[in-house]
Chain A
Amino acid sequence: MKKAGEKTALKRSKEEEEEQNQIFNFNRKPADEDKDDDLSDSEDSVYSGLEDSGSDAEGEEGSEEEEEDDDDDKMKERTEEEVSEEKKEDEYEHDSSDEEDIRNTVGNIPVEWYKDFPHIGYNLDGKKIYKPIRNKDELDDFLDKMENPEYWRTVHDKQTGSDIVLSDDQVELVNRLQRGQFGDVNFNEYEPMVEFFSSDVMIHPITNRPADKRSFIPSLTEKEKVSKLVHAIKMGWLKPRRVEDDGRGRYYDLWASEDSSILARHRMHLPAPKIPLPGHHESYNPPPEYLFTDEERALWEQQDPGDRKLPFVPRKYSSLRQVPAFSHFIHERFERCLDLYLCPRQRKMRVNVNPEDLIPQLPKPKDLQPFPTTQSLVYRGHSGLVRSISVSPSGQWLASGSDDGSVRFWEVCSSRCMKMVQVGGAVKSVAWNPNPSVCLLAVALDSVVLILSPSLADKQVILSSERLLSAQQEGEEPAEGNGSVVWSEAEGEELNQGVRLKIQHPKAVHQVVWHAKGDYLASVMPDNTSHLQVYIHQLSRRRSQNPFSRNKGLVQCVSFHPIRPYFFVATQRSIRIYNLVKQEMTKKLQANSKWISSMAVHPGGDHVICGSYDCKLSWFDLDLSTKPYKMLRHHKKAVRGVAYHRLYPLFASASDDGSVIVCHGTVYNDLLQNPLIVPVKVLRGHVMTHDLGVLDVTFHPTQPWVFSSGADATIRLFT
């Protein structure tokens, strides 16, 4: 603070002081110098012999001075001193440390060092500066503070131990400095700048110093550097600095000349499919029906992200300002990027088919009439499921065998039950003798085949059938080669009911079938383990024979050829056709199904249909191939029965799904023309019971009517 005061307000005095200082220096320094000289002298004298070369410049100077001393001219000495004084003067000009204490000459030392002394230093004259007699204590200070109006501008000078009262100017100065202003009031900080070194070329040089020589001669070092660089550039080690051009932002008309030369490669190129456009779902304010209900939302949350129909939840915001950022935006773009360069592309031919075109053009069912269309009669009376039905060759009577152990005879037209025969066991199969001149019915139950004479015909017919039955009786007693089948006459109660003959089989019989002539009768005993599965009985001679000596699989059903001596045997997977005369197999039909259930032979004898438990119906053209000509998968469940109409080109199939499907199947005499198969009607009526629907189906021999028997203990007639 003191220094500042001196510097500015008391500039004048300061200068004076400095002058004094200088004077003081004048006075003091020579002595020091002398002393130094003496010292060096002495040192030199001590070590002169040892190290003269190691002595420094000062020493030399000193020695020179010595020599000069030796020469000794007072004037000279004077000048020497002057020179040195000048030097010193220069030093002090820059030395600021001295300005600190001008009153106290002890130097820049802690004041505490003078703690134990009565004085605190020396003034300029070398006199002691004494401490104030009495030290101020706190109380004094306080009193001073209270009483002295000048207290606020009093500053304690530690160096001199005295209090200094600052003048108004000094206070003003302090304030200015504290405000960050320039100390001198008159100093103008914002004087216009004088440009000494401007861009204007002056006429006169700034300095009059002559130019260096090196500014005229080319530099060798530079030349060396340049040549190195040139060499490096020549050798390609160093590349010239590239011209900075922003190649990214520079565009031009790239497609100015469109040529198709590059197009060749692009023949194979598949452009990436575009992102599907957003629908109403995605709107920030969608119609209310597009928003998720709670269940839909729960479902959405449960679903795997890949399975979700929408990748986001539709939201509704009442105004645009409430719409937040979509958190998956970057994700979606990134995924699109991945799709673009990682997904294999493939041209997918989308079939744009009108489904109506796929439906085959078939003749209209209307044109294929007649065929049964409506259910007209229901024959009720059985209490168990009706396994089998058969129509008499005259078409007047219908026989049915049921699980309730009865065989019923119905009048077709009136649906009245004309007769009932209790046979004492679940009837598996009934078959009416196809010969119109006799009236006989074969019934299979358990291991017995019964021959019934229902006596539901003219007397003539009944008589002829009785004759047929009794003819062999008279002729010869049964002389069976194989004792497993026993023929026996019915007696007593059974006889009254109409049972005429009993053919006892070794195993349970599942099916009986008549030959077209009505003399032969085949029975089936499905058994996988033995070859005794099929018997052919001759009624007139009461003879039975087993035509097969080997087991070829589980026999499902058998059938006679309507005209020629062929015999059809359906095993589980295939149908074998045997020539009964030649005693050999002529054909084996592969029905591409798992398990054949039923079979029917076309009245012409060249076509066979077979139904299977795997819902299929196969039509075989015997002249065509051993593979089915057509597989019909019309039914939803197992096919139980199939039948051909004797006169009309119709066939029907009955299935567990409770329906009977009637198809039109025209067979042409022309061998080149394939049969025409058209489904014409689906007949429903039977009620499903125990998962079983329709069990048997058969056509009326003359009318386009179809009978069906079902698990609901009814028989229905569709006309």
Chain B
Amino acid sequence: MGGLQKKKFERGSATNYITRNRARKKLQLSLPDFRRLCILKGIYPHEPKHKKKVNKGSTAPRTFYLLKDIRFLLHEPIVGKFREYKIFVRKLKKAYGKTEWSAVERLRENKPTYKLDHIIKERYPTFIDALRDIDDALCMCFLFSTFARTGKCHVQTIQLCKRLTVEWMNYVITSRSLRKVFLSIKGIYYQAEVMGQLITWVVPYQFSHDHPVDVDYRVMATFTELYTTLLGFVNFRLYNSLNLVYPPKLDSNAESEPKEESEDDYAMNSESYLEKLSALSASLARVVSSAEEEEAQLDHFPTEGEDMEKMEAREKELKQQEAQKKLFEGLKFYLNREVPRESLAFIIRCFGGQVSWDKSVCIGSTYEMTDETITHHIIDRPSVDKQYINRYYIQPQWVYDCVNAKVLLPVEDYFLGVTLPPHLSPFVEEKEGDYVPPEKLKIMALQRGEKTGNEQEEEEEEEEEEEEEEEQEEEEEDDNGDEEDDEEEVAEEKNLKKMEEQRSQGKSLQVKVTPGKLKVENKARLEQEEKAEEKRLAIMMMKKKEKYLYDKIMFGKKRKVREANKLAAKRKAHDDAEKAKKKKARK
């Protein structure tokens, strides 16, 4: 035989993986540092196919990383920074212990910091990659920007998050890229289409958080560190793409305030400036002053030339999109103080509407409530004392529903104190066989422009018809009462007559011959049955593996159908109950 004895676990998959602890030792990092490094570099564990082989015969639960990944981490400059920071902390502790305050001060001044720019560049080699992955970053930054300064994280982080999110929102407004919004019980979902990427983020409702104790804020902070860097660079690039000034500046021309204000901008406290920005009421300054006209053009038809050649469907979609972009153009909104101002202002401005609010609510209101040109007054209370005649008083859901429906919905359903129609998720795309709530069908009909405005009337008509029917029925019932009595009498008489006849004929009619009925064979049905049986027989001949797969698929399908049916049944029961209630109320 000869040759060396082959040792176990020195080749194959065992050499491709490394356990977390060994990786940590190899990198000479503490566990929190290792964790932070993994977060920043986007390294995640791998599940080996043969766990036992990789685990050297043991079945103990372990986390495995790819050895290549860990080798890749070895050369990361940030690892050195982590070590430096460790040393800094040690020195600082020492200085504190010795009460050498000057040393402490000096050390603090030289606190080692690190930048994540190269990591961002490395993780997202192209801008589109970054955009694709920005969902989480946005969600996180929006969450952090709502934190109170209670020491759960650094104040600077909160401020930075606030700044970045405001910048993002301003970009979305300027580029008019918002597509869908959804009021969920968790928060408000927004979906924007930026450079062809659908980006979804969720913003919590404006309440203070009760911070859970079982959440590790260090992990969240590390993520936020990465995400703020990412979002900052993305914002910069996006602002550049629109020829906007970065960091954003309010457009001094558009501002109603005189010039002196804008000159003050530079010296103005950045926080108050940020507040102004976050009011989302003014447009942003552009780099090229003359760009305004071009931009206006661009705004309207940003990709006209290219799309002329594309398919008509696409064109149509684009047209629709364009229309959606100008959904609120020409409308003037006023937000009452109890509605979520930021969200509504953001949405309305995204679709070209004008918006204002009470001066005491927030900085940046542009016109008063008394303005006669206001078309929609968004209000969320059961009634209001003074109503202006020439404006609609509507509940905030109207705005969200309009955006999702891409048309201006009839305002009647959303008037003050009216029970709102259900708010549907715009993210659900019903496939064939799925349950579609009737409200969605209605909106789809509206979108197709079928019965704009008739819906309500129709419903009313239906109701009227129903009423009539009911009345008729009632009348009929009354009539029937009499008729039935008559009929019964008639029937009895007939029976009696028959009996008498039979008797007279001599009771010989026990056996009778009835004419045979021609069995009508439904050909289509027969064919169908035949086909079904054929299929059943063919299924019997399936191989075991395929049968299993087939059964699984069919089970899934059936379950879907069952769920849809259940929903439909529930809806029907509800509607019936409602109708009954109505009837009762009417009576």
Contacts and interface: CB of A to CB of B under 8 A. Distances in A.
Contact of A355 (B113, B163, B550): B550
Contacts of A272: 133, 136
B143 interface: yes
A312 B571 CA distance: 21
A539 interface: no
Contacts of B35: 341
Interface residues of A, number: 89
Contacts of B143: 329-330, 333
B6 interface: no
A247 interface: yes
B549 interface: yes
Contacts of B339: 320-321
A365 interface: yes
A353 B63 CA distance: 34
A554 B205 CA distance: 76
A623 B440 CA distance: 65
Nearest to B117: A254
Given A285-B422, A325-B204, A329-B143, A278 B549 contact: no
B541 A678 contact: yes
Interface string A324-354: 1111111111101110111111100001010
A49 interface: no
A338 B218 CA distance: 12
Nearest to B184: A282
Interface string B355-392: 00000000000000000000000001100000000000
**Interface size range of chain B in the complex:** 35 or more
A329 B160 contact: no
Contacts of A248: 156, 160, 228-229
A275 B424 CA distance: 19
A333 B139 contact: yes
A344 B567 contact: no
A336 B39 CA distance: 12
Nearest to B539: A359
B186 interface: yes
A404 B328 CA distance: 89
Contact of B207 (A263, A324, A365): A324
Given A266-B125, A329-B186, A337-B220, A289 B567 contact: yes
A312 B536 CA distance: 41
A272 B567 CA distance: 32
A680 interface: yes
A259 to B, nearest CB: 7
A275 B185 contact: no
B232 interface: yes
Contacts of A328: 186
B439 A287 contact: yes
Given A263-B125, A271-B133, A342-B45, A278 B427 contact: yes
B207 A258 contact: no
Given A251-B235, A319-B380, A341 B423 contact: no
Interface string B112-129: 010101001110111100
B211 interface: yes
Nearest to A343: B44
A335 B22 CA distance: 26
A634 interface: yes
B537 A682 contact: yes
Contact of A289 (B43, B136, B210, B570): B570
A242 interface: yes
A287 B419 CA distance: 12
Contacts of B126: 255, 258
A620 to B, nearest CB: 18
A255 B44 contact: no
A112 interface: no
Contacts of A266: 125
A289 B219 contact: no
B422 A288 contact: yes
A318 B219 CA distance: 37
Interface of A: 239, 241-242, 247-249, 251-255, 258-260, 262-263, 265-266, 268-269, 271-272, 274-275, 277-280, 282-290, 293, 312, 314-315, 317-321, 323-334, 336-338, 340-346, 351, 353, 355, 358-362, 364-366, 632-634, 661, 677-682
23 contacts: A241-B110, A248-B156, A249-B163, A249-B232, A251-B236, A278-B425, A279-B427, A280-B425, A283-B183, A284-B423, A286-B422, A287-B571, A288-B571, A290-B437, A320-B339, A329-B143, A334-B220, A337-B223, A351-B549, A360-B538, A633-B544, A677-B541, A682-B536
Interface of B: 35, 38-39, 42-47, 63-64, 66, 68, 72, 109-110, 113, 115, 117, 120-122, 124-127, 130, 132-133, 135-136, 139-140, 143, 156, 160, 163, 182-187, 189, 200, 204-205, 207-212, 215-216, 219-220, 223, 228-229, 232-233, 235-237, 240, 246, 338-340, 380-381, 395-397, 419-420, 422-425, 427-428, 437-439, 530, 533-544, 546, 549-550, 553-554, 557, 567-568, 570-571, 574
